[in-house]
Amino acid sequence: MLFRHRAGIGALVAALVLPLAACGGDQAGADTLVVYSGRHEGLVGGLLERLEKETGMPVEVRYGGSAEMAAQILEEGDGSQADVFFSQDAGALGALGEQGRLAKLPQDVLDAVPAKYRADDGTWVATSARARVVAYDPAQVSQNELPQGADDVLDPKWRGKVGFAPTNASWQASVTGLRVLRGEDGARDWLTRFAANDPQRYKNNLAVLDAVDSGQIALGLINHYYWYERVAEQGDDAVNARLHFVGGDDPLALVNVAGAGVLAGNDSHDAAVKAVRFLLSEQAQRYFADETAEYPVTPGVSSTKHDLPPLREIQSPDLDLSSLSSLQQTLGLLQEVGLS
């Protein structure tokens, strides 16, 4: 384990605990399994509808942002109605684990995925994975010009030609990974040079991909599945943009995960564990592989719809994904260098 960041959790709660409309104000009964989902209903709603059958009890799913949901759970304390936290990223899970809000999962659940995709203390487990990649316009970028690492993106020849989504959680998580791998000063130096190279800002990853696809920019920093979903919808010939997996244990090759944990001290522990176990089942893993174009995290499951390179072949940085919980420090650094 590299290191933990306890500072900033209180600031995260203060900044992000809001009366979430998605959570509502109704009190769930003790015989209802309550899932706080930081994953969007449009992506996983169909899958979570199957939980009632799998757990044998009524299920209530409350949707919101992962950071907001984690902050909500911390604010609610022991009175939280959440039984399961289903997060879009490892950082939010790490924040809850650090504060003792997650129970240790059974060993068979932990053993279902590789060690790098679960918490060192056994409090959460990945349910799917996504890789940071570089989308590029082949009319502007030759094969031998493709970035082989984060520092290559800083080359002056890419001035004004690199797109990113500053408010996107995956971009912020990738910067957190940069901080963990290079330290505060190293990350500040990279971000300062990146900002000086006039990167183009977009509202989300899809907008970045659109800009690359139309030739507005040469390179775009996105998650892999946006491109695969686009190709599945439109066909490979209709998509101009191509995709480059960096690899080489570089910050630009971060593989982050969605994951789930069971809240400590909840009244529906056994059902909550069943819910997490279901998210690792072949049925659920195939859903992630085919419907969301993400990487399954359990061995032996692959997509029947998307031609993804095997996850084991991606040379992602070797870091403790729980350390991505230091979001508040990342946001402060991004604001400091003018990239927020």
**pLDDT at site 328:** 84
> Cα dist. 258→201, 232, 309 in Å?
25, 22, 19
Q: What pTM, to 2 d.p., does this model score?
A: 0.85
Q: What is the pLDDT of residues 198-210, one digit of tens each?
A: 999 999 999 999 9
**pLDDT at site 206:** 95
Q: Among residues 113, 132, 115, 121, which one has the least CA distance to residue 93?
A: 121
Provide DSSP, 171-240.
Answer: HHHHHHHHHHHHHHHHHHHHHHHHHHT-PEE-SSHHHHHHHHHTTS-SEEEEEHHHHHHHHHHH-GGG--
**pLDDT at site 7:** 36
Q: State the CATH architecture for 130-253.
A: 3-Layer(aba) Sandwich (3.40)
Measure the CA angle with vertex 315, ends 245 and 337; round to 5°. 70
Residue linked to tokens 């993804």: 308
CATH of range 9-129+257-310; options 3.40.190.10, 3.40.50.1000, 3.40.50.970, 3.30.160.100: 3.40.190.10
Tell whether the torsion through CA atoms of 179, 181, 184 and 190 is positive or negative.
Answer: negative
Q: Are 9-129+257-310 and 130-253 in the same CATH fold?
A: yes
Angle between the N-to-C axes of helices 282-291 and 41-48, in degrees from 0 to 180, rounded to the nearest 10: 150
CB 258 within 8 A of CB 289: no
Q: What is the pLDDT of residues 262-296, one digit of tens each?
A: 999 988 999 999 999 999 999 999 999 999 999 99
pLDDT band at residue 249 using 50, 70 and 90 as cut-offs = confident
Residue 191 CA to residue 197 CA, distance in Å, equals 10
Range of lowest pLDDT (20-34, 248-262, 322-336): 20-34
Domain regions of the chain by residue span: 9-129+257-310, 130-253
**pLDDT at site 30:** 63
Query: 267 versus 161: which is more confidently predicted?
Result: 161
Query: Hey, what amino acid is at 146?
Result: L
Percent of the chain whose pLDDT exceeds 70: 91
For the segment 82-91, the average pLDDT, to the nearest whole number, is 94
Provide DSSP, 288-308.
Answer: HHHHS-PEE-STT---SS--P
